[in-house]
Structure formats: C-alpha cells, structure tokens
Amino acid sequence: MPAQQQLRTVVILGGLSTLFVGCLMMIYAKTWVDILFLLSMLLVFAITPVYAAMALHDAHRMERG
C-alpha cells in the first residue's frame, strides 16, 4: 500500500472513530461530569490518528534515506 494511501486511511478511520465517540457522547451524557469525561475521550480519539499519520510519514521518509 503506498504511503499516501496509508496516511489517508489512518486519518479517515480516526475521523470515523471520533464521529462514533461523539455520537456516544450525545446519547449517554446525562450530567456535566459525563460530558467532561467523554470530551476527554473525544480529544484522544481526534488526536491519535494525526500522531499515527505523522509516525507513518516519518517511517516512510526514513526508509527512503
């Protein structure tokens, strides 16, 4: 799989997981404490694919020399 396609796949799947967690947040949040807890999870799900894409990009760059 080419590097650019891997990066796109990681970012798209990360975006879908973020959307899923956001939907869960809307469904199950009853109090402000629940919202704050789920918001922290949402931030983790939003940031993780970006870090993964950066790591893949760096790995491919190191392979090329």
3-class DSSP assignment, residue 35: helix
Longest dimension (CA), the chain: 52
The answer to whether 3 and 57 have CB atoms below 8 angstroms apart is yes
> What's the pLDDT score for residue 43?
84
User: For residue 14, what are the CA distances in angstroms to 5, 7, 45, 55, 62?
Assistant: 14, 11, 7, 14, 24
pLDDT tens across the length of the chain (65 residues):
676 787 788 888 888 888 888 888 878 888 888 888 888 888 887 888 888 888 888 887 888 87
pTM over 0.85: no
> What's the pLDDT score for residue 40?
82
Q: ∠ at Cα 46 (44, 47), nearest 5°? A: 65
